[in-house]
Amino acid sequence: MSRWSTVVAFVLLAQCITVLLCLEGPDAVVPPDTDPDPDLDLVVPRDPDSVVPPGGCGCQSLRRDSVVDTEEEGGMADSSSVKPAVKYSQSMNEMPSDLREDDQDTTSQMVLIPGGELTMGTDDPGIPPDGEGPRRPVGLDPFYMDTQEVSNLQFRAFVDSTGYITEAEQYGDSFVFEGLLSESVKSQITQAVAAAPWWLPVKGANWKNPEGPDSEITERLDHPVLHVSWKDAEAYCSWAHKRLPTEAEWEHACRGGLKDRLFPWGNKLKPKEQHYANLWQGDFPKYNSGEDGYVQTSPVKSFPANGYGLYNMVGNAWEWTSDWWTVYHSTDRQQNPTGPSSGTDRVKKGGSYMCHKSYCYRYRCAARSQNTPDSSASNLGFRCASAEPR
C-alpha cells in the first residue's frame, strides 16, 4: 500500500516539470550565459495563477486510497496519436552518427565536475512549498557525473549480467501516463488516481514494457530507462561501480558552471526560439504538440549538453538522487551535504517530458520533488555519479 502512496506522490511530481534546450555533442556545449537575464519576464512564469503549487496539482493528496473508478471519466486525448508539429528543434535533435557510437557502451561516459565553494537552492523559489530555498553555502569536492541518463540499453546490460528484477516487476505494475497507453490496455484499467486521473496503474508495466505488456523498448534503446525505483537505480549504479549523486551534486552539475541561473543553459527557456530540453508543449494533459520534437522521452543525448557536457539534466526523465527528502534546510555552510539521515521519500530532480509551466514549474536546477523509494513510473529515471573516474 505504501508503494501506491509513493507512486501517487510521484505522479504529482511528474506533473511539475518541463523545458530544456540543447546542442550536439561534447563540442557543442552551451556557452556561458553572460546575459543578466534580459528576457526573464518573458520566459519565466511569475503569475501565481500560471504555476500550480503542489497542493494545486493534487500532489499532496495522492494516496492509494485516492485511486478511484474511471468509468465515469470523460476520457482524455491520446497524445501518442498526435503527430508532432516540430517547429524549431528537429535538426538539433538529429545527432551525427559518430556520436551514437558510445550509445553502445554499457555504462555512461563520465565528466569531471569541479568542486569548490558553491551555493544550492534559491531565494526566489518558483514553488516555495517544495523547499527550494533558502539559497545556502555548500562546499563540494570534485566528482564525476554520467553525461547522460542511464539508457534502456545500459540497464539491459545490467539485467543481463546480474539477473536483476526491478521492483515494478516484483509488484507487477507501475504508473503510466494515460496519453501513452493503447486502447487495449486502457480498456482493462478500472482505476486511476483521483487527484491526477492521467496516471493509471498498469499491470505488467515495467522498464522492458513501458506502456504495459503490448509495448517494448526495441526502438527506444537509447532512451532513458523508466519504471525504476530508487533501489533499482542504486543497484545499477553499484553494479557500475558508481553511486547516485547527492542532491547538492546534482544541482551543481545541472548549473553547468553558471551562477544564479534558472536552467542549465541560462535564464531564457528558449534561446533563439530553440528548445533546449524535452518538455511538454500544448495543453496538459490533453494535448502535447511535440514542438520540441518529442511527445514521449527522447534519446539520452538529444538536445544540447550544458557547460559541463551533461545532457538532459532538466526534462526528459526525472532523476533520482541519494538524499532523503526534507523542505527544511539550514543556512549554515555544509561540506559535501548528503541530506537528512532518514526519511520517507527520496529527492528527485530535473522534471520530465511531462512538465508544463502551467502546472509544474519544476524544470529548473533549484526545483525539486520527491517520491517514496519504491515508486516507479513512466517519467522517472536516473544517472550515476562517482568520486573516481569510471
The footprint of Ca ion (CB under 5 A) covers: 278, 292, 294, 312, 316-317, 350, 353
Q: What is the enclosing helix (H) or strand (E) of 237? A: helix 230-239
Contact 77, 107 (CB under 8 A): no
- 331 — phi, psi (to 5°)? -90, 0
Q: Least separation, in Å, of the C-beta of 65 and Ca ion? A: 31
Q: Least separation, in Å, of the C-beta of 333 and Ca ion? A: 28
For Ca ion, which is the closer residue by CB, 66 or 370? Answer: 370
Q: Least separation, in Å, of the C-beta of 117 and Ca ion? A: 26
Q: Least separation, in Å, of the C-beta of 263 and Ca ion? A: 12
Q: Least separation, in Å, of the C-beta of 312 and Ca ion? A: 4
Question: Taking Cα atoms as reference points, which of 269, 272, 230, 273 lies closest to residue 355?
Answer: 269
Q: What is the enclosing helix (H) or strand (E) of 206? A: none
Contact 362, 356 (CB under 8 A): no
Q: By CB neighbour count within 10 A (0-12 exposed, 13-18 middle, 19+ buried), where does 182 fall? A: middle
From CA 200, how far away is CA 211, in angstroms rounded? Answer: 10
For Ca ion, which is the closer residue by CB, 155 or 353? Answer: 353
Q: C-alpha cell of 313?
A: 539534466
For Ca ion, which is the closer residue by CB, 138 or 317? Answer: 317
From CA 133, how far away is CA 314, in angstroms rounded? Answer: 19
For Ca ion, which is the closer residue by CB, 201 or 210? Answer: 210
Question: Taking Cα atoms as reference points, which of 302, 296, 287, 290 lies closest to residue 84?
Answer: 290
Q: Least separation, in Å, of the C-beta of 165 and Ca ion? A: 25
Q: Least separation, in Å, of the C-beta of 72 and Ca ion? A: 30
For Ca ion, which is the closer residue by CB, 9 or 317? Answer: 317
For Ca ion, which is the closer residue by CB, 201 or 224? Answer: 224
Question: Taking Cα atoms as reference points, which of 145, 128, 134, 120 lies closest to residue 366?
Answer: 120
Which residues, 6+ apart, have CB-to-CB distance to 299 below 8 Å? 95, 103, 222, 223
For Ca ion, which is the closer residue by CB, 67 or 145? Answer: 145
